[in-house]
Structure 1
Amino acid sequence: MQVSDVHKAYGRHRVLRGAGLELPAGCLAGVVGENGSGKTTLLRILAGQLAPDHGVVRYAGRIGYCPQETVLNPAFTVDQHLELFQVAYGLAGLERAHELVDTLNFSAYRRHRIATLSGGTQQKLNLVLALMHDPPLLLLDEPYQGFDWEAYQRFWKLAEELRKAGCSFLVVSHIAYDTARFDKLWQLTAGQLISADSDYGCDDPSAGR
């Protein structure tokens, strides 16, 4: 993904003022910033949900987008969501989705309605829906919000496996926590992305480890 000179304003409030980044294949990257700094606006632009006022976003292939707010229907079960997204993605089967559910350890809730699930379990499903079609580029907004420690560790193990397979991640968070896991890290401040790392590089999957 290549992003250059992205601007976005809401009325007189300028949220993004020339934000840019480059995300090569097999790169695990993060964007941190205070609440209200424009992180979600940036991610929505990168995902194609929001048009920038100015700037260019380029990427090839499919993307997986996990918004901070879940995209779930409280009346449907976990399995019903998987079946709906299977149709939306045009997938032949649900083997990968079930594998991800097992990896994140909530297969016991597949027949449960969303309204009965904890916030953390709902977020796990939100993440699976973004990953189940195996996109090469993942845009994740606070993806582990509500996770317990075990689920948090499972998320990072999964992220590392996908990274080694050549997937690229952009993880957005309001706190700079566990930053050693990232190959690249930017701070979103004053509407711009400022490098906050030593730029280990992402061409070698073992870089920075």
Structure 2
Amino acid sequence: MNKGVVVDVANIDVTYNKTRILSNVDIKIKEGEIIGLLGPSGAGKTTLVKVIIGMKEVDKGEVKVFDNKMPTLDVSKDIGYMAQSDALYDDISALDNVLFFGELYGIKGEAAKERAMEVLRLVNLDKDFNKAVKNYSGGMKRRLSLAIALLHNPKLLILDEPTVGIDPILRKKFWDEFERIKNAGRTIIVTTHVMDEAYKCDKLALIRDGEIISEGTPKEIIESSGGKTIEDAFLFYSREKGDE
């Protein structure tokens, strides 16, 4: 594997009920970058991240994370994953949720409580840490899911639509934290259909109908399409794919 490559997805196909979900997807993700998977709902973004973390098997091709062929449990401790659907325990508090997941990563005792409160402050839940999650709004649950994903300082952070239901001020705070994590040499994969967020990524992979239709920096993708915005570029490459 190339030096600095954290995720190596090599020519994968994924089908479900005889329907092709991903087709010949090939992408390398390097250490210390934020890569955005940009595309509409149903494009295959969530399937791709599930393949990367080993939750879904491929029909063809190979996926390696930290030079380990997936799926494997060997690298789970190095991955933080925030799913599109919140997987939380509603009847216990936010703090107890964080502490529970901390134990799974071997974080216990006072160190666990200190780190839990640190990530809860980051997502503005430190004043509601004792509240049962069943009393949280949808946006608060998203923030708690992010706190849990950040808890163990993962080398690879995978975020599936992390800012859905988040107000603009907190969204900026999230992205400031993502930038800090990247500058510490860690890698972030974020799925989104929000064009404004695409500009915050170092690299983009535009996904439509299970295929990567363009890849590069936001500037490279815009310039190669002859457009002025990411939206222009997405429409251009979508038309190109449709003409094939």
Whether these two folds match at TM > 0.5 is: yes
Aligned to 1:204: none
Structure whose CA Rg is larger? 2
Determine whether 1:9 maps to 2:6: no
Q: Distance in 2 between matches of 1:175 and 1:20?
A: 23
Q: 2:60 pairs with 50, 54, 59, which one?
A: 54
The corresponding residue for 1:65 is: 81
Which of 115, 118, 123 does residue 104 from structure 1 map onto? Answer: 123
1:57-206 equivalent positions in 2, closer than 5 A: 57-60=63-66, 61=75, 62-92=78-108, 93-94=111-112, 95-198=114-217
Structure 2: 5+ residue stretches without partners:
1-6, 67-74, 221-244
Gaps of 5+ in 1: 202-209
Listed one character per residue, the Cα deviations across residues 62-119 of structure 1 (whole Å, up to 9, x for unaligned) are 1111000001111111011011111111014222332121122110110001111111
Tell me how far 1:168 sits from its aligned partner.
Answer: 0.5
Moved more, 118-127 or 91-100: 91-100
Please list the CA deviations of residues 36-63 of structure 1 after superposition, one character each: whole Å capped at 9, or x if unmatched. 1111111111111111112211112511
SS at match of 2:15: strand
Pick from 21, 30, 38: which aligns with 1:24? 30
May I ask how many residue pairs the two structures share in their alignment?
201
For 1:17 and 1:125, the matched residues in 2 are separated by 33
CA shift, 1:200, in A, is: 7.5
Shift of 1:174: 2.3
Task: Determine which of 40, 43, 65 is the counterpart of 1:34.
Answer: 40
Tell me the residue number matched to 1:206.
none
Conserved in 1, the CA contact under 8 Å of 2:44 and 2:209?
no
Structure that is richer in helix per residue: 2
Q: Percent identity?
A: 30
CA RMSD of aligned residues (A): 1.7
Cα distance in 1 for partners of 2:106, 2:144 equals 19
Question: Structure 1 segments of 4 or more deviating over 6 A?
Answer: none
What amino acid is the match of 1:131? L
SS of 2:23 mapped into structure 1: strand
- Report what 2:49 is aligned to: 43
CA offset at residue 196 of structure 1? 4.4
